[in-house]
Amino acid sequence: MSLNSHIEKVLWTKFQISKRVTELASQITSDFSSVSPPPLVVGVATGAFLFLADLVRQIQLPISVDFIRSESYGSGTESSGAPRISLDLKLDAKDKHVILVEDIVDTGNTLSCLIKHFESKGASSVSVCTFLDKPTRRKVHFELLGDGKYYQGFECPDYFVVGYGMDFAELYRNLPYVGVLKPEYYS
């Protein structure tokens, strides 16, 4: 069975994704063009890896890149609630303008935890650039740090989506588009 045949419907094609990523990168380029020191762009592993790679290649500024890993999901589609940071940055975030790059914001638990983490490290601002946002699912309100900004690629309807970095049970991250699995594969 081919990979594409697992997908019930495609929400965003790779062409739509690429166009939107270009727009986000040029917005970030213009918003951070006079910021010093250069921004520290932090991808939230694993889900943000493709978005991060596409985004940073189009940001026309000197930036640093690092990863942080936060885990809250088991292998299912429901959040376990309390995220924990299971891999921290290599770089020092003190006095840095951090841009957190996420695959998707759902309940807000992960971002809320990560923003507090960067606040405790002494970051001067925390911005968020998420590929998808499911605002109707929000349970936790988070505030950006300092004069941090919020960027989102697309607003996502209330489906459990896969692809473009996002998994179900650690599969499907390699899809170049975002879609919904056929019901028989969510088990």
In the complex, the residues that contact ligand 5GP under the rule CB under 6 A are 47, 72-73, 79, 83, 102-110, 160-162, 166-168
In whole angstroms, the minimum distance from the beta carbon of 61 to ligand 5GP comes to 25
Helix (H) or strand (E) holding 15: helix 14-31
Residue 16's CB is within 10 A of a number of other CB atoms, namely 15
Residue 163 contacts Mg ion per CB under 5 A: no
In whole angstroms, the minimum distance from the beta carbon of 166 to ligand 5GP comes to 4
Tell me which stretch binds Mg ion (CB under 5 A): 84-92, 102-110, 119-127, 152-160: 102-110
Q: Which of residues 39-78 bind Mg ion (CB under 5 A)?
A: 44, 47, 73
Residue 153 contacts Mg ion per CB under 5 A: no
- Give me the amino acid identity at 89: L
Q: How far apart are CA 69 and CA 113, in angstroms?
A: 12
**Is 106 an annotated catalytic residue?**
yes
Contacts of 58 (CB under 8 A, 6+ apart): 21, 22, 25, 26, 29
Contacts of 92 (CB under 8 A, 6+ apart): 121
The binder of 127, among ligand 5GP, Mg ion, none, by C-beta within 5 to 8 A per type, is none
Handedness of CA 26, 16, 72, 82 (dihedral sign): positive
The binder of 160, among ligand 5GP, Mg ion, none, by C-beta within 5 to 8 A per type, is ligand 5GP
Residue 72's CB is within 10 A of a number of other CB atoms, namely 16
Q: Catalytic residue among 31, 106, 147, 167, which?
A: 106
The binder of 46, among Mg ion, ligand 5GP, none, by C-beta within 5 to 8 A per type, is none
In whole angstroms, the minimum distance from the beta carbon of 30 to ligand 5GP comes to 26
Handedness of CA 85, 114, 120, 59 (dihedral sign): positive
Q: DSSP letter for 121, please.
A: T
Residue closer to Mg ion by CB (options 38, 110) is 110
Residues acting as catalytic residues: 106
